[in-house]
Structure 1
Amino acid sequence: MDLSALEDFQLVARHGGFGKASRASGRSKATLSRRVADLEEALGVRLIERGGQSLALTAAGRGLLSRTEGPMHEVAEALAAARDGMDTPRGLLRVAAPQLFAQVALARLAADFIALYPDVQIEAVAEDRVVDLVEERFDVAIRINPRKDSDLVGRCFAHDRLLLVTPPSIARPSDSDGDPLPVRAVVMSSHRDGDIWKTRDGRAIVPQPVLRLSSLLMVRDAVAVGAGAALLPRSIVGGMLDSGQLVTWGIAGDDVELWVLHTSRRLESPKVRAFVDFMASQYPDGSFIAQA
């Protein structure tokens, strides 16, 4: 099969039609149409429905596009590196990251990375949902405690831990026969009423929400001015604990792992490999400490 025909199919699919692909590439519509037809004949399936006013991919066309667009991009990068006679990170690197990590660390890290690799451009997207790296064309993702059965690969670059913190003005309750104790609390919007917060030393409290907020930084700031207790990462409250602005009642749950992940294709691009190595070098003692 002619790989250039596959490139022409991807060009037409990305631009939504032969005319737009022709204008974008400077190649004639007739040539593009013939190359796509050649590809369909070689595969024995129809990839594009003809006759409509706008392009419509068949199920086979959609499947071929989703499975080949990323690998073809990596092949193009590998060929460019071979032509240059070097393995230099270059091109656009798309990074997906959770909101909190993006807000307190990613901008500085991205700036430091492109200072080391000026041929790379970074586009970072902050979302708490789990993105599909292949379907959404991300190169890497920062994830918290990723699933063990994930088909992604990468490295754990830092650890964090969740603390039960309060302002000093809230008296630490004494244990009462081991029963969970009610405490005023600032919670995330996703908090489920009835949840019990437990620490490793056996303390258990029933949070009584007085504020429901959508950001951990908002929760931290509300706790700092006395609103109530909260579960917060050590990375964003360490300075406040050191200064006495906040106090901790214990560690909640297991330590949190931060990973940088990418797809497990054999062709790992230089920019992805460099970014993974860079992230692993940023926290040499393994502790994630926010810079904000």
Structure 2
Amino acid sequence: MVDLNDIAVFAAVAQFESFSRAARALGMPVSTVSRKVTALEEKLGVTLIQRTTRKLSLTAQGRAYYAECSEPLKQLHDAERVLSETQRKPEGLLRITVPVTLGQPPFFDFLSAFLKKYPEIEVDLLVSNMFIDLVAENIDVAIRFGELRDSSLVAQRIGKSTHFLVAAPEYLDRYGTPSRPDELSGHRCVLVNVRNNEAEWRLVNGDESASLHVTGSVSVHDIQSASAMTERGHGIGRLPPIFCDSLLLSGKLVRVLPGWSAPDVFVHAVYPTRRFLPSRLQVFLQELKGWRGPAWQSLR
């Protein structure tokens, strides 16, 4: 099979009508250019270029061959240029998946601002707690909280998330406010993803830590439901800032044991490969790391 590189070298020689000028344009020695043209002629079994000591000229076969191959070579060059520009310019479709925890107004505000800043980028957003195979589903990037399952993916740490203890004033008026972590065992707690409405909670306060058994009358399967039931006075909940900041500001929730919280959970942007990242993904990762929203705290 004919080597495409040899064809490209021949086309350059035909265009410049000179081995030396073609060599300069291609950035290779004249001897290499001559050798590649000779190899092409031997493969084709025809003489493409008539060489003399003073000049070169295309044979009839050479002119016909150049006429046929110059346009396809130009199309290949254009295709390469388009791909290169796509890599450099933030544009095209960006497929993102985030957990339900992020499916809230603050993140949508961030995403909206991102799209306005880069109007040639389109976004396909999937909000789901399902573990999605990024490669199989052609996902560009996933935001994931906590431990990562797939070590073959590239993970960029973008922040850490903390869950605070909060309760509605209605609940605290009725059942009292705990002053120590061990008092939580005697309180109703709103629990997430547990069996038999009981759980083991670990709390930290600087260098101090506490592990305790808690129970509750309400168990749910997502943070949004936990926030709703905590706000309605059904117990003490552990909520991330994105689900409790506005409620704390409005007085619908108050902090319980303010110095204590759940241990930090790291947040990662996960994507299939670190090679040849398209510009649209690069700028998204940059904006994500710089976001000062309530979903997580910056690592800086």
After superposition, the C-alpha distances for 1:103-141 in whole angstroms (9 at most, x for unaligned) are 343322222222122221100001112211111100111
How far 1:148 moved relative to its partner?
8.0
How far 1:144 moved relative to its partner?
0.7
2:178 and 2:256 in contact (8 A); partners too: no
- Give the counterpart letter for 2:82 in structure 1: A
2:106 and 2:294 in contact (8 A); partners too: no
- Residue aligning to 1:31: none
SS of residue paired to 1:254: coil
Q: Give yes or no for the alignment of 1:268 onto 2:277.
A: yes
Q: Aligned partners of 2:238 and 2:179: how far apart in 1?
A: 19
Q: Aligned partners of 1:172 and 1:222: how far apart in 2?
A: 18
Give the aligned CA root-mean-square deviation in angstroms.
3.4
1:162 and 1:251 in contact (8 A); partners too: no
Q: Aligned partners of 1:253 and 1:213: how far apart in 2?
A: 18
Aligned pairs for 1:125-274 within 5 A: 125-147=126-148, 150-168=151-169, 169=172, 170-173=175-178, 181-188=185-192, 190-193=193-196, 194-201=198-205, 202-244=209-251, 245-249=253-257, 250-274=259-283
TM-score, length-scaled by structure 2: 0.60
Residues 135/278 of structure 1: CA separation in 2 closer, same or farther (3 Å cut): same
- Give the counterpart letter for 1:260 in structure 2: A
Q: Aligned partners of 1:156 and 1:117: how far apart in 2?
A: 23
Q: Aligned partners of 1:195 and 1:123: how far apart in 2?
A: 36
- Give the counterpart letter for 1:213 in structure 2: V
- Give the counterpart letter for 2:146 in structure 1: N
Q: Aligned partners of 1:242 and 1:107: how far apart in 2?
A: 20
Residues 208/254 of structure 1: CA separation in 2 closer, same or farther (3 Å cut): closer
TM-score, length-scaled by structure 1: 0.62
Structure 2: which 5+ residue stretches go unaligned?
A: 3-77
- Residue aligning to 2:107: 106
Instruction: Choose 84-93 or 94-103, whichever is displaced more.
Output: 84-93
2:201 and 2:212 in contact (8 A); partners too: yes
Q: Aligned partners of 2:285 and 2:80: how far apart in 1?
A: 18
Q: Aligned partners of 2:116 and 2:98: how far apart in 1?
A: 20
After superposition, the C-alpha distances for 1:67-112 in whole angstroms (9 at most, x for unaligned) are xxxxxxxxx9975243x59811221111010011123433222222
How far 1:219 moved relative to its partner?
1.4
Structure 1: which 5+ residue stretches go unaligned?
A: 3-75
SS of residue paired to 2:104: helix
Instruction: Choose 148-157 or 265-274, whichever is displaced more.
Output: 148-157
Residues 217/99 of structure 1: CA separation in 2 closer, same or farther (3 Å cut): same
Residues 272/149 of structure 1: CA separation in 2 closer, same or farther (3 Å cut): same
